[in-house]
C-alpha cells in the first residue's frame, strides 16, 4: 500500500484483514513532538489511504513515554520569528482534516502523555481508546504557552463533548485521566495497556455508538443562541482568575468558540488566525521561553545516576517531614529523625494524609508508609546515601549536628542542608568531607513548589553537584544550581519585596491594597498574604539573617505580632485574621487612594536584587536566574522573569525609576552593581530571540 514511500517518523503495516496500523515514532527522540516533517509524512500517508480505502486505520505511538507531547515548541518559535505561524498552523489543520475525512473507520490508541497537537490528532480520528492506567494523560495545555489549540482543538472538542465540558479543559490546560476522558466522551473506551491495540481493532469492527445524551448536549451547547449566552458567562469566570492584558489567550479562545458556526472550515479559519495573532504577543513569547527554561532545568543532572536509594532526614518539622514524605512518595526508602517520637508522629500523620490523597489505593498508601520510617535514634544515618538536615535556622546547632552524624557516614554519602539563608561556607567549617556537603533548599509547600535550589560552596566536588541535580530530577523537581551566598537566589530576591511591602504596611497602606497592586503586576499572591502564609516568624528570622547583607532593616511591627503569638496563617492571626485556611481581608475605604509609586516600591527592589545576583554570579546565567525566580516565587510568568522584565521595559527606564524612588524614599532603592552587564540588554545565546509584538 505504501510502496515507494519512505518515512523517518512513521512506521506502517497492513494486516490480513486490511487494517492499517500507523505508529508514530519520532526519530532521534525519546518522545513524540509533532514537527513539520512529522506532519508532511502523515500527509503523504493519508493521501495514499484516501486512494486505497483500507478496512480501517489505527494510529498509535511507538514511544514508551506516551502518544505525543504536542507541537515541536522550538519549531513554533522559529515560525514566530519568521512570521509564518499562520501558514504552518493551516498546514497542520489541513493534514488533520484530511485524516478526519478518510472514507474508512479510524481509531486512535492512546497511552501515556497525549497533549496539545497529540490530542488534536486523536480528535481527528473517528474513535479513541485509551490505556487504563495512571500514566495516561489527555489534554490541551496551549494556554500555558500564551496561545490556544490551533490544529482543530477548539473546532472539534466542544462539538464532541459539549462546550460546557470542553471549554474548561482548554482554558485551564489541565489534562484528563483515562477514566475522566471516558466519562466525558473524549475517548470511547479504555483498555488494559497490554490489550490496547487488540481492543482498538475490536473498536474498528464494532464502533462505539455515542449516547444520545452526549450528542444532544454537544448540539445544545454549541448552537448559536447558546454560544451567545454562555460566552459572556465564561469570560466573566475567566476574568476573575486572570487579567486579559496579562493573559490574552483564554479570552481569544472563548471568542473563537463564540464566533464559530456550523462549518468546520470556518471554525478552523478563526482558530488559525487567532493563534497566529497570539503568537506575536509578548505574553506568548515569555511563556514559551519559560517552558523552554523549565525543560532546561529538568535536563540538569540528566544521564547521571545519583546513586541514592536511601534518604535520612533530620528534623521532622513542616519542611523536614514534607521532604521525607515526598521522597517516600517517589519511591525512596526514608528514615525520619527528631529528638522524640512526639515530634515525628505529626509528620507521619501528615504524610499518610498526603499519600491517601495522591495514591488513592490502600495498598499503595501502605506501601508508601512502609518506605517512611520513624528513626528517633538516628540509626538510618549509617545506611543512607543522602542525609538531609532540616532543623531550625541556627548555624551553630547545624554544625553540632554534623559533628555527631558525619562520622557515621558511609563512603560517598552526601550531606545536604535545607537551610534557606545561611551561607554554606559558614556551615561547612569543621566537616570531615566538605566536598560531599551541599544545600538542597526545598520550598514550602514541598508537594506543590517545583523548584529546589542546589547550593554550592567553595569546596564542593562537582560530581556531588551532578548527583544532587539528578536526585532532584528523580524527585520530579526542577533544580537550579546556586552560589551559597546569604539567601541564595530566591530568598535573596524575595526578601526586599516582602520587607518593602511590610514597610508600606507599617506606613498605613492597607494590606488588601498592597496585595491587589502586587497581583496587578502579576504576582500569584500579594505580599501581605504571603508573609502570613510563610509565617511572620520565618519572615523575621530570614529577614534578620539577610537584612545586613542586603543593606535593609526589618520594618517595625513584626516583633510586636510575634510577641503576642500572632505568626500568621498557622496561628489563625497575623497581619490578617485567618478562617478555614483563608485570610479575612478588611474592607478598604472606597475613597482611599494608594501612593502612585506603591507598585514600584514593592517590585523594583526585587528587580534590583536580581540584577545584583546576576552580577555576583549566584547562578550561571540570566536565563537560569529568571527560571529560578519564576519557579521559586511565582514571579509573573507572562513577564518572563526579572531580567526579562528589565529587557522589555528598558535598562535605562527601570534604572531611572529606581533612582527616582531613592530620591523620594531613601538610599535602599539606589541601583545596585550589575546594571551595566551586557546580559541585561540581550538574551543569552542559544535561546529564542524576543518575538516582537
- Quickly tell me which residue has 482568575 as its cell: 241
Per-residue DSSP letter, 33? E
Who contacts 547 (Cβ-Cβ below 8 Å, separation ≥6)?
495, 499, 553, 554
Note the helical H segments in 551-597. Answer: 558-563
Q: Answer for the pair 187, 181: CB distance below 8 angstroms, yes or no.
A: yes
Residues forming beta bridges with residue 579, ordered by sequence position: 582
Compute CA distances 667 → 327, 543, 582, 657, whole Å: 45, 18, 36, 13
Mapped onto helix, strand or coil, the DSSP state of residue 298 is: helix
Let me know how long the chain is: 693
Q: Are 183 and 165 in contact (CB under 8 A)?
A: no
- Taking alpha carbons only, the member of 86, 34, 77 closest to residue 269 is 86
| DSSP state letters, 623-682 | HHHHHHHHHHH---GGGT-HHHHHHHH-HHHHHHHHHHHHHHH-GGGS--TTTT-GGGTS
| Among 329, 324, 321, CA closest to 312 | 324
Please name which of 418, 462, 454 lies closest in space to residue 436, comparing C-alpha atoms. Answer: 462
> What whole-number distance in Å separates Cα of residue 558 and Cα of residue 553?
12
Task: Give the Cα-Cα-Cα angle 183, 187, 188 (nearest 5 degrees).
Answer: 85
Dihedral sign for Cα 182, 186, 188, 191, please: negative
SS3 9: coil
Q: Virtual CA dihedral for 379, 383, 385, 387, nearest 10 degrees?
A: 10
Q: Name the one residue in this structure whose C-alpha cell is 570531615.
A: 432
ω into 356 cis (within 30 of 0): no
Dist. CA 29–CA 72, nearest whole Å: 12
Which cell is 17 given?
484483514
- Residues 521, 527, 528, 533, Cα dihedral to 10°: 130
Q: Is 395 left (phi over 0), alpha (psi -120 to 50) or beta?
A: alpha
> What is d(CA 634, CA 630) in angstroms, rounded to the nearest whole number?
5
Cell 567549617 found at = 429
Q: In whole angstroms, give the CA distance from residue 608 to residue 317.
A: 33
Nearest CA to 538 out of 317, 238, 285 is that of: 317
d(CA 287, CA 299) in angstroms, rounded, equals 18
Compute the 3-state secondary structure of the chain and give helix, strand, coil in percent, each to the nearest 5.
Answer: 50, 15, 35
Could you confirm whether 441 is annotated as catalytic?
A: yes
Give the pairing type, strands 127-131 and 189-191. parallel
The whole-angstrom separation of Cα 91 and Cα 43 is 10
Q: Which three cell numbers mark 408? A: 557515621
Grid cell, residue 363, equals: 495498598
Question: Cβ of 688: how many Cβ atoms within 10 Å?
Answer: 17
| Residue in 111, 148, 312, 441 annotated catalytic | 441
| Residues with active-site annotation | 441
Amino acid at each position: 500500500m505504501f510502496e515507494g514511500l519512505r518515512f523517518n517518523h512513521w512506521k506502517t503495516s497492513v494486516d490480513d484483514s486490511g487494517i492499517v496500523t500507523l505508529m508514530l515514532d519520532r526519530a532521534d527522540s525519546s518522545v513524540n513532538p509533532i514537527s513539520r516533517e512529522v506532519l508532511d509524512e502523515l500527509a503523504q500517508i493519508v493521501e495514499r489511504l484516501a486512494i486505497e480505502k483500507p478496512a480501517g486505520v489505527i494510529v498509535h505511538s511507538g514511544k514508551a513515554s506516551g502518544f505525543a507531547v504536542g507541537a515541536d515548541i522550538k519549531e513554533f518559535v522559529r515560525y514566530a520569528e519568521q512570521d509564518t505561524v499562520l501558514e504552518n498552523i493551516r498546514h497542520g489543520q489541513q493534514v488533520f482534516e484530511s485524516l478526519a475525512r478518510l472514507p474508512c473507520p479510524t481509531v486512535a490508541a492512546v497511552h501515556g502523555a497525549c497533549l496539545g497537537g497529540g490530542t488534536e490528532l486523536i480528535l481527528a480520528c473517528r474513535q479513541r481508546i485509551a490505556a487504563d492506567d495512571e500514566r495516561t494523560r489527555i489534554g490541551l495545555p496551549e494556554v500555558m504557552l500564551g496561545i490556544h489549540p490551533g490544529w482543530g482543538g477548539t473546532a472539534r472538542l466542544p462539538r464532541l463533548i459539549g462546550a460546557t465540558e470542553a471549554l474548561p479543559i482548554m482554558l485551564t490546560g489541565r489534562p484528563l485521566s483515562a477514566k475522566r476522558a471516558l466519562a466525558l466522551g473524549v475517548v470511547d473506551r479504555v483498555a488494559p495497556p497490554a490489550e490496547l491495540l487488540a481492543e482498538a481493532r475490536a473498536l474498528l469492527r464494532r464502533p462505539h455508538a455515542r449516547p444520545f445524551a452526549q450528542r444532544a448536549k454537544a448540539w445544545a451547547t454549541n448552537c448559536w443562541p447558546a454560544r451567545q449566552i454562555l460566552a459572556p458567562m465564561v469570560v466573566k469566570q475567566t476574568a476573575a482568575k486572570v487579567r486579559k492584558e496579562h493573559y490574552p489567550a483564554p479570552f481569544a479562545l472563548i471568542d473563537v468558540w463564540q464566533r464559530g458556526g456550523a462549518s468546520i472550515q470556518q471554525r478552523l479559519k478563526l482558530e488559525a488566525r487567532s493563534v497566529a495573532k497570539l503568537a506575536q504577543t509578548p505574553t506568548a513569547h515569555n511563556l514559551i521561553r519559560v517552558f523552554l527554561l523549565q525543560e532546561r532545568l529538568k535536563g540538569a543532572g540528566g544521564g547521571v545516576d545519583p546513586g541514592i536509594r536511601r534518604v535520612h532526614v533530620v528534623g521532622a518539622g513542616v519542611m523536614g517531614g514534607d521532604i521525607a514524605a515526598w521522597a517516600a512518595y517517589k519511591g525512596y526508602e526514608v528514615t525520619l529523625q527528631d529528638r522524640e517520637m512526639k515530634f515525628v508522629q505529626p509528620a507521619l500523620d501528615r504524610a499518610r494524609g498526603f499519600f491517601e490523597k495522591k495514591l488513592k489505593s490502600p495498598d499503595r498508601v501502605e506501601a508508601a508508609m512502609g518506605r517512611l520510617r520513624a528513626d528517633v535514634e538516628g540509626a538510618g544515618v549509617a545506611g543512607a546515601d543522602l542525609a538531609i538536615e532540616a532543623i531550625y535556622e541556627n548555624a551553630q546547632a547545624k554544625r553540632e549536628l554534623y559533628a555527631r552524624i558525619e562520622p557515621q557516614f558511609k563512603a560517598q554519602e552526601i550531606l545536604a542542608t535545607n537551610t534557606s539563608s545561611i551561607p554554606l561556607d559558614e556551615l561547612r567549617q569543621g566537616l570531615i568531607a566538605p566536598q560531599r556537603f551541599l544545600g538542597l533548599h526545598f520550598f514550602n509547600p514541598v508537594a506543590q513548589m517545583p523548584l529546589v535550589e542546589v547550593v554550592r560552596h567553595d569546596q564542593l566536588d562537582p560530581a556531588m553537584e551532578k548527583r544532587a541535580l539528578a536526585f532532584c530530577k528523580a524527585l520530579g523537581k526542577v533544580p537550579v544550581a546556586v552560589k551559597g551566598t546569604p539567601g541564595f537566589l530566591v530568598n535573596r530576591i524575595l526578601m526586599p519585596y516582602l520587607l518593602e511591602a511590610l514597610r508600606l504596611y507599617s506606613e498605613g497602606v492597607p494590606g488588601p491594597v498592597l496585595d491587589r497592586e502586587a497581583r496587578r503586576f502579576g504576582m500569584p499572591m500579594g505580599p501581605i498574604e504571603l508573609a502570613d502564609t510563610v509565617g511572620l516568624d520565618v519572615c523575621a528570622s530570614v529577614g534578620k539573617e539577610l537584612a545586613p547583607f542586603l543593606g535593609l532593616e526589618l520594618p517595625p511591627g513584626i516583633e510586636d505580632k510575634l510577641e503576642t503569638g500572632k505568626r500568621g496563617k498557622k496561628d489563625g492571626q497575623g497581619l490578617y485574621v485567618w478562617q478555614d485556611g483563608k485570610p479575612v481581608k478588611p474592607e478598604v475605604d472606597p475613597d482611599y487612594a494608594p501612593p502612585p509609586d506603591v507598585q514600584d516600591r514593592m517590585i523594583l527592589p526585587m528587580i534590583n536584587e536580581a540584577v545584583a545576583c546576576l552580577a555576583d554570579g549566584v547562578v550561571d546565567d540570566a536565563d537560569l536566574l529568571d527560571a529560578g525566580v519564576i519557579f521559586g516565587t511565582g514571579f509573573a510568568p507572562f513577564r518572563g522573569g526579572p531580567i526579562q522584565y528589565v529587557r522589555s521595559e528598558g535598562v535605562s527606564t527601570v534604572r531611572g525609576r529606581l533612582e527616582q524612588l531613592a530620591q523620594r524614599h531613601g538610599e535602599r532603592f539606589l541601583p545596585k552593581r550589575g546594571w551595566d552587564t551586557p546580559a541585561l540588554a540581550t538574551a543569552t545565546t542559544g535561546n529564542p530571540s524576543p518575538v516582537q509584538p
